[in-house]
Amino acid sequence: MNSINNFFKNINFALSSLDQKYIDDVIDHLIKLRAKKGRLFIIGVGGSAGNASHAINDFRKLCNIDAYTPVDNISEITARTNDEGFETIFDSYLKLSKINRKDILLIFSVGGGNLKKKISTNIVNAIKLAKQKKTKVISIVGRSDGYAYKKSDIKILIKVKDKKLATPISETFQVLLWHLFVSHPRLQINKTKW
């Protein structure tokens, strides 16, 4: 019971620590994105990649937002990893997609990338490209010392007291927040079945 109680205490702490102003800012930016016919690109690795894939479905189906993630094309990712290295999988996709100032890059990540530690450098490279192209960068991350948190235009930090739970709770909140976005009455256009 102690582990269960600890998990839920950390969930409650993370929930009570969310800054709703940033959540509202994300919703505003997504509304503007749709109005100007921009595209939403979502990236993440590991569990966050799975979340990116699910999220683009919801943004497209419920909000009529033109959304993409490179993680849905496993053939391209593995070919690029094989030929160019894993660190290129996102920025090369975004270059080919001609990411620009009308678009948004949404990052789902626990740590947000770190060049010195060589962690999630593919996310770092994607953010660098987005900044060069004047693309807005929004991050939902579990750490404030990562590249995504430091370089994003809007960042939502998932605060977790028990650092052993940083990954599961950060990835849980990615799901929670994108579902909040796609079901928000200012964003959602199409009804869900249930």
pLDDT tens digits, one per residue of 31-83: 999 999 999 999 999 999 999 999 999 999 999 999 999 999 999 999 999 99
Which domain does 92 fall in, by range? 2-183
Whether the model clears a pTM of 0.85, i.e. scores above it, the answer is yes
Q: Is 63 helix (H, G, I), strand (E, B) or coil?
A: helix
Would the pLDDT of 100 be above 80?
yes
Identify whether 126 is part of a domain.
yes
Q: What are the backbone dihedrals phi and psi of residue 137, each rounded to the nearest 5 degrees, phi first?
A: -120, 125
**Contact at 8 Å (CB) between 131 and 148?**
no
Would the pLDDT of 194 be above 90?
no
Identify whether 114 is part of a domain.
yes
Identify whether 115 is part of a domain.
yes
Structurally, the chain folds into a number of domains equal to 1
Distance, CA of 41 to CA of 43 (rounded, Å) = 7
Beta bridge partners of 107: 43, 139
Identify whether 189 is part of a domain.
no
With bands split at pLDDT 50, 70 and 90, how would you rate the model's confidence at 193?
confident
